[in-house]
Structure 1
Amino acid sequence: MKTKALNRWLIRAGVTLIFLFLLAPILITVVISFSADNILKFPPTGWSFKWYATLFANRDFKGAFQVSLMVAGGASLLAAAVSIPAAMAIARGKFRGKTAVESFFLAPLLVPAIVVGLGLLLVFSPLGLKGTYQGLILANAGLVIPYVIRTTLLSLTTMDARCEEAAQTLGAPPLTVFRTVTLPLIIPGVLSGVVLAFLLTFDEAVVSLFLVSSRVRTLPIAMFDYVQTRTDPQLAAVSTLLIVLSLVIVVVIERIIGLRRVLT
């Protein structure tokens, strides 16, 4: 009994240390955001909210935040519009090459982001899409479509197919079955994928680095440019607000649809 108790204690201690190791950068960033120092320094020599006040007065960061918000929202909605019919075809369709179609939609997960970014730069530049909202939305939608497809497929494969069969038996046309039966049942998976896509797009930097311009910059790129010339805690304040924003979105969606249940 003593040996088992010791083993449980060691496992819990090990898991706790791993979590602390993973969370340490986040906790340090939050602490530094309240620093009174003029440089990134841990531990701070004093405490202040001045970097948050400076942040809210920073037009570059505010403009970049608006760009990221629009790009993330547009890319998430576009990814959902593509992923729902694609997932339906993969889950319900019976045709040759279905595995190849699924692999095609999941391919962005296998290609390094820097390779994707360079390829998109070569394609988008002649089309005039570099440095535009449209180009950033298209690029990021392509990156997050696999995630929305996976969560939608999970909902499609775990839902009760008898509901669809009952509606078809009663004479409902396919579009009506999808609108009144299938979509309400898979909406938790779709929304989970959209939320995940939004957060990933909002945080994306590698591909966006190839496609932004001086007028259209996302927040991660603005932060990257900022840190090349300055090293004050304003970056920590931005990062802290992004952490809070991500937590709020995840908690709200978890309360509404049960995000954890869908993703697991």
Structure 2
Amino acid sequence: MDEQPISATLKMIATVMFLFLLAPVILVLPISFSGENYMVFPPATWSTRWYGAFFADGKMLGALGTSTLLAIVVTTLSLAIGLPAAYAIVRLKFRGAEALLNLFTAPLLLPTIVLGLAILILFAAYGLLGTFTGLVIGHLVITLPYALRVLTTSIAGLPIIVEEAASTLGASPLTVFRRMTLPLITPGIVATCALSFLVSFDEAVISLFLTGPAITTLPVAMYQHVDSNADPLVAAVSVLLIVLTLAVVLIVDKSVGLTKAFVK
């Protein structure tokens, strides 16, 4: 069947919608290069002073280091926990596997502020507030559901006959998993790492409940800065975060391809 040509009206509507969705990003970029002492659009003068101010701000750089380390640890744990769990749910097909998957992914259905408040109440009883361990556990609550969804979809899309063929040739279950399953689900693993890293690095609401004077993340530091200042520093940081996100997406695209990574 021949595809119907897209009408000019539909193309125009799609263009307007894309511009509407990208408007905040488009506005942030010029504001970040403002030479003014407060946010104004369009800027009367142009400068890179706020990028320099960010790299000279010890608190912001410390928060950046914390967010980066936190995202790396959370990504590693999400993959280490999610991969065997996803494999067991998909391949072992034990009773209640679907219910268990729904339970593990339930945090995706809750408003983040409700989830953050629940974690706050629980962690307060165990002295985990304002600690790196508490942040790791709190972020795992929201990254593990994403990891499980991506990995279960990736493993379910792998024909089991491939693993069975390797087993009939004498390969042990561990060898089958290491030499057959892992290479074939590499796109799903890469997608899990990218998604977990970005979700953890950008998480603000739960981090607001768990951070303290001794430790803070970059999104929380940005929120605190906006609360007391109206300068374009946050716009400059936002542009850097946009660049980071694009870099991660490009790495995924160049390594395995976006379609293979995020589409079954």
TM-score (ref. length: structure 2): 0.95
2: CA distance, partners of 1:9 / 1:92: 48
Quick one: which amino acid aligns to residue 91 of structure 1?
A: V
Quick one: which amino acid aligns to residue 166 of structure 1?
A: A
Deviation at 1:257, TM superposition (A): 1.3
Q: Partner of 1:182 in structure 2?
A: 181
CA-based RMSD: 1.3
2: CA distance, partners of 1:111 / 1:146: 12
- Decide whether the 8 Å contact of 2:187 with 2:260 is kept in 1: no
Deviation at 1:259, TM superposition (A): 2.6
Q: Partner of 2:157 in structure 1?
A: 158
Structure 1: 4+ residue segments shifted above 3 A = none
Deviation at 1:126, TM superposition (A): 2.4
Q: Partner of 1:198 in structure 2?
A: 197
Q: Partner of 1:215 in structure 2?
A: 214
Quick one: which amino acid aligns to residue 174 of structure 1?
A: P
Q: Partner of 1:72 in structure 2?
A: 71
1: CA distance, partners of 2:163 / 2:80: 21
2: CA distance, partners of 1:183 / 1:131: 37
Q: Partner of 1:123 in structure 2?
A: 122
Quick one: which amino acid aligns to residue 128 of structure 1?
A: G
Quick one: which amino acid aligns to residue 75 of structure 1?
A: V
Q: Partner of 1:47 in structure 2?
A: 46
Which ranges in structure 2 are unaligned for 5 or more consecutive residues? none
2: CA distance, partners of 1:96 / 1:162: 22
Q: Partner of 1:19 in structure 2?
A: 18
Q: Partner of 1:63 in structure 2?
A: 62
Deviation at 1:262, TM superposition (A): 2.4
Deviation at 1:131, TM superposition (A): 0.9
1: CA distance, partners of 2:153 / 2:53: 44
Which ranges in structure 1 are unaligned for 5 or more consecutive residues? none
Q: Partner of 1:253 in structure 2?
A: 252
TM-score (ref. length: structure 1): 0.95
Q: Partner of 1:81 in structure 2?
A: 80
Q: Partner of 1:138 in structure 2?
A: 137
1: CA distance, partners of 2:159 / 2:96: 26
Quick one: which amino acid aligns to residue 12 of structure 1?
A: K
Q: Partner of 1:239 in structure 2?
A: 238
Q: Deviations over 1:198-227 (max 9, x none)?
A: 101111011111100112100000000000
Deviation at 1:68, TM superposition (A): 0.5
- Decide whether the 8 Å contact of 2:51 with 2:236 is kept in 1: yes
- Decide whether the 8 Å contact of 2:71 with 2:201 is kept in 1: yes
2: CA distance, partners of 1:120 / 1:229: 27
- Decide whether the 8 Å contact of 1:79 with 1:142 is kept in 2: no
